Structures are given as structure tokens and as C-alpha cells.
């Protein structure tokens, strides 16, 4: 059962303004990732349209949507969770959402456009910590963390490099 297009047209037309970017959630869409989150964070306004049942009529795709996004190669019952994933990933990139700009920069440099470049080092007992972490040299520590993140990504998700 496809969603009837008329109520979707009416809903979008009543909400969208000139600069609103209308995005359909669909397993057949472009794969959502950090780079797309950053791109969406620049948009003046987003309208995410979540489907249900068999999804959308092609008229919705053709005439209403600026973009179609998928959050992964699997099929969910409806688009509510994909919407929440996208809202969360985009919102945290907006100014003032994370506590400090420093935290944002740190996250961004730890991830680039990928998504698992976290670094080891948290929770290591002091006597097992690499010497550099105990050195107090922030530049060296940052370089060490960046290199560890690169190695971890190479090992676990080489496709992201
Ligand atoms: N064959 C349909 C299609 O390709 O759109 C499947 C529809 S799915 C059962 C119902 C709705 O859930 C979709 O319209 C979409 O909004 C949402 N959905 C399901 N899986 C999704 C995914 N991986 N990414 C984004 N949205 C998804």
C-alpha cells in the first residue's frame, strides 16, 4: 500500500517556505553520512518526510522532494527512526548545540567525514598509558591521537580512508 500523494503535497505545501529543503526518507535514497549531515546543517530549513507502508508514490519523489536519503541498507517499517537519526546528526553540528566550540572541533577532527575515528586512550590505567599521554605536551598528544585514530580506522573501516 502506497501513501496517497495528495495529503503529503498538502502538508509539505503548508509548511515549506522558499528556502526549505524537502527530503524524503527512503531505503533507496542516497546514503546518509557525516558529509551530508554537514551539508544539511548549512540549509536554512529542512523538512523531512517520513514514509510508511510501501513508501511514496513517484509523484512525491518527482515533484516534491529535493533529495532522498537512506540511513542504511536495510528496510525499516517507517521513516520515524531515520528522521531522528538525521535530526540528531545535523543538530549537533549547529552552533551552540554542543557545550563548547572546542568539543565540536575535537569531534570533527576526530571524525573528518568518516564516522569511527575514535581514539583509544580513555580508561587506560595510568601505568599502562603510552608515555606521550602523560607528557603534558598537548601538541604531541593531539598528533598521537590523530595517528591512533587513523590506524584504528585503517584496521576497522579502511573504506573510510
Ligand atoms: N520499498 C519501499 C521504498 O523503497 O521506499 C519501502 C518502504 S519502507 C517499508 C517504509 C518507509 O520507511 C519508507 O518510505 C521510508 O520512509 C522508511 N524507511 C525504511 N527503511 C529506511 C532506510 N533504510 N532509510 C530511510 N528510510 C527508511
Nearest residue by C-alpha to atom 1 in ligand 1: 54
* Neighbour-count burial for 8-20, b at 16+ CB within 10 Å, e otherwise: beeebeeeeeeee
pTM over the 0.85 mark:
no
CA 112 / ligand 1 centre spacing (Å) = 28
Render pLDDT for 9-67 as a digit per residue (tens, 0 to 9).
999 999 999 999 999 999 999 999 999 999 999 999 999 999 998 888 889 999 999 99
Q: Which domains does the chain possess?
A: 5-91 (3.40.1280.10), 115-160 (1.10.1270.20)
Kindly indicate the confidence band of residue 112, based on its pLDDT and cuts at 50, 70 and 90. very low
Please check whether residue 148 is in contact with residue 155, taking contact to mean a CB–CB distance below 8 angstroms.
no
Whether 81 is in the pocket of ligand 1, judged by its Cβ within 6 Å, is: no
Whether 75 is in the pocket of ligand 1, judged by its Cβ within 6 Å, is: yes
Please check whether residue 118 is in contact with residue 152, taking contact to mean a CB–CB distance below 8 angstroms.
yes
Query: Which residue has cell 508514490?
Result: 57
pLDDT at 113: 36
Looking at per-residue confidence, does 63 or 112 come out higher?
63
Render pLDDT for 132-141 as a digit per residue (tens, 0 to 9).
888 889 999 9
Give me the torsion for CA of 54, 57, 62, 68, rounded to 10°.
-20
Q: Partners of 102 in the beta sheet?
A: none
pLDDT at 103: 61
Q: What is the mean pLDDT of residues 101-118?
A: 52
Amino acid at each position: 500500500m502506497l501513501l496517497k500523494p495528495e495529503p503529503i503535497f498538502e502538508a509539505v505545501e503548508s509548511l515549506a517556505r522558499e528556502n526549505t529543503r524537502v527530503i524524503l526518507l527512503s531505503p533507496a535514497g542516497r546514503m546518509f553520512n557525516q558529509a551530508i549531515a554537514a551539508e544539511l546543517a548549512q540549509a536554512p530549513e529542512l523538512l523531512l518526510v517520513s514514509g510508511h507502508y510501501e513508501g511514496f508514490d513517484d509523484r512525491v519523489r518527482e515533484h516534491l522532494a529535493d533529495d532522498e536519503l537512506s540511513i542504511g541498507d536495510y528496510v525499516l517499517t517507517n521513516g520515524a527512526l531515520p528522521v531522528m537519526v538525521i535530526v540528531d546528526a545535523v543538530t549537533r553540528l549547529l552552533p551552540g548545540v554542543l557545550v563548547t566550540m572546542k568539543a565540536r572541533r575535537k569531534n570533527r577532527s576526530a571524525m573528518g567525514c568518516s564516522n569511527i575515528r575514535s581514539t583509544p586512550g580513555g580508561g587506560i590505567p595510568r601505568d599502562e598509558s603510552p608515555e606521550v599521554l602523560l607528557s603534558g605536551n598537548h601538541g604531541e598528544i593531539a598528533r598521537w591521537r590523530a595517528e591512533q585514530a587513523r590506524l584504528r580506522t585503517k584496521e576497522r573501516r579502511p573504506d573510510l580512508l
